[in-house]
Structures are given as C-alpha cells and as structure tokens.
Amino acid sequence: MLEWIVLAMCLPCSWLITRWMLGYAHSKNLLDVPDYRSSHRIPTATGGGVAIVITFLAYLIWAALLEGVSARQALTLGICGGIVAVIGFADDHFRLSVLIRIVVQFIAVSLLLFLLFPLPPIPMFDGFWANQYALSIFYLLALVWLLNLFNFMDGIDGLAAIEAMSVLLGAALIMSGSNASTEIRLLLSLLFSVAGFGCLNWPPAKIFMGDVGSGFIGLMLGALALITALSGLISIWSWLILLAVFIADATVTLICRLMHGQKVYEAHKSHAYQIVARKWQSHGKTSLCVLLTNLIWLMPLAYLATLWPGLGFAIALLAYSPLVLLSIKLGAGRVQINNQ
C-alpha cells in the first residue's frame, strides 16, 4: 500500500513544483515570446519540465532504496536523464548552439546504452536482430532522435504531455498481465510526474515544459522501453507503435524539409500537428485527437505486437501507414504560406 501512496504523491508534488516554476519563470523573465514561427500568441512561462525531472528522479531514489528497483537502472536513468535535463535547462536560459546540445545528447545516450548493456534484441518474423554492435548504433541514433523529436513536437499546449502520458499508460496496460508491478510503478511514476505538470500546461497553457522537460521525457521513454523490452515484459515494437504519432509526424516533416532544401535546425511550424491546430484553431482539440488516436488505434496494435512479437514489424507498418500518409497529405515539412 505504501508504494502506491508514494506513487500517487508524484502528481501533486509535480503540480506544486510546476506552480513554483511558474513564479520563477516570470521573476527571471524566462518567457517564450511568440514570433511568426510560434503557435502561441502571448508570452508564456517556460521551463516547467523541471517539475517532471525533480519528481521522477526523487521517486527513482525512493524506489531504488525501498522498492526493489535495480540500483544500476536507477543510477543510469538518474545520471543520463540528469545530463539531458541540465543541458536542456541551460538551453532554456541561454540558447546554446545546436552543436553543443547534440554532442551532449550523444554523450548521454552513449553512456545510457553502455550502462544498460546488453540491449534488447528486435524480433523479426521467425528470428531476432540480436547483433549487439549493430543494435548499439541503431539505439544510439534512435534515442537521440527520440529526445529531439519530443522537443520538435512540443509546439502546442498540452500535446507533449498528452503523448507522454498515453504512451506510458499504454505500456503499463500491456505489461499489467505480467508479474511486473515494480516496472509498472516506474512507468506510472513518470506518468504522474508529467500529469502534475500537465495540469498547468493544458490549453490555454500557463507554462511550457521547455527543453529541460521535452528532452528528459524523450530519453526516459527510450530508456524505459529498453529496460522493459530486455526483461521480456513488452516488445520493443510495442513501444515504437505507441510512439507512432510523434515519430511519424517528426520524421516525415524532417525528410520533407530536407527534400525542399530547408534548414532543418531552424524553428518552424510545418509539422502536421501544427497545421491541424491552425485549421481547427484549437490546441485542445488537436491534443485530444492525438490522445484518441493513441487509445483507439495504436494501443490495441501495440498489444498485438507484444502478443505476437514475430509479427511486430508488420503490425508497426500497419500502425504507421495512415499516420505517414496523413502527414504527407497535410503538407508536413513544406513551406507554409500565409500560415495555411
């Protein structure tokens, strides 16, 4: 009972820290001032993701000491997540160069993969992709992309929080049939940490999570995917399917921007979700649409990918196809004229 009480406390603790960060951001003029590339219209406090970082890391310490979470895993998540959070916090305050951010991200992810070694093999039809060297390169690139795409997709009120919570909920539900209460509570602790922040990030948002929150969440989702997949509790394909909305939109947008000769490191508002938000003139409706897509379309397919891991690639292809086609149809990655 105590472990569930402590877990539930993550939500109000995160909310309280977010409230404090709201005052801190205004006192330090830590505001996201809108320009022609922004999806919001008034200066808004940012850096609220600090609440997610502090709450989740505090739970990690408690879980490692008293709840049976591996000290190795807790230290890995804490150290590597802390590195990404610190560089994100610095970027929120001082706007670091892209090169500095990328180098630090690669260092953090490389350290994470080293500490979590061996890495989970990927089921492929009647076998596995199990070569650890090849997997290391794949997971390195995938995790660096994941933590960056979470930053790219954190562009309208509530969206990144909704995505993180629904992905974590889906993974926890898939694992609920196994003897994995410790791992499930680890997922839920991050979910509740995000939910506490989300209370103040829902449209109209009072505060944004900033790079400190988006990068941290992206890395933690990737790390938790590796930990749970290696234990056999859930297929790595299930995680890829649960994250399909963000991965599909961000990847299609990046490829299209490259094809059109745009500078991919510059801020823009040509993601599919941004186009939809402008068409609907609502951040809330767009975020709810992502939530429903995750619940109705992706979660059942993610469950099937764990039930039949050998078919994971085929199920993932089914999950991604309409999302990729929709992103292309909406014009993701193309130069947006007159904000249309």
Q: What is the pLDDT of residue 339?
A: 44
Q: What is the pLDDT of residue 336?
A: 57
243 lies in some domain: yes
127 lies in some domain: yes
126 lies in some domain: yes
pTM score, whole prediction:
0.95
Q: What are phi and psi of 90, to 5 degrees?
A: -65, -40
194 lies in some domain: yes
- 196's tokens: 């506490």
Q: What is the pLDDT of residue 177?
A: 81
**Residues in contact with 229: Cβ distance below 8 Å, sequence separation at least 6, in sequence order:** 120, 235, 236, 239
Number of independent structural domains in the chain: 1
Yes or no: say if 196 and 55 are a contact pair by the CB < 8 Å rule. yes
319 lies in some domain: yes
Distance (Å, whole) CA 242 – CA 118: 23
Chunked into runs of 10 residues, the chain (340 residues) has average pLDDT values of 88 98 94 79 93 97 88 95 97 92 97 96 86 95 96 94 98 89 94 98 96 97 96 95 98 93 81 95 96 98 96 97 97 66
Candidates 112, 51, 102; CA nearest to 78 is 112
Full residue range of the structural domain in which residue 233 is found: 2-330
- What letters, b where the CB count within 10 A reaches 16 and e where it falls short, cover 149-166? bbbbbbbbbbbbbbbbbb
**Residues in contact with 157: Cβ distance below 8 Å, sequence separation at least 6, in sequence order:** 40, 201, 202, 203, 204, 205, 283, 284, 287
User: What's the Rg (C-alpha) of the chain?
Assistant: 19
- 337's tokens: 């004229």
Q: What is the pLDDT of residue 180?
A: 77
Q: What is the pLDDT of residue 335?
A: 65
338 lies in some domain: no
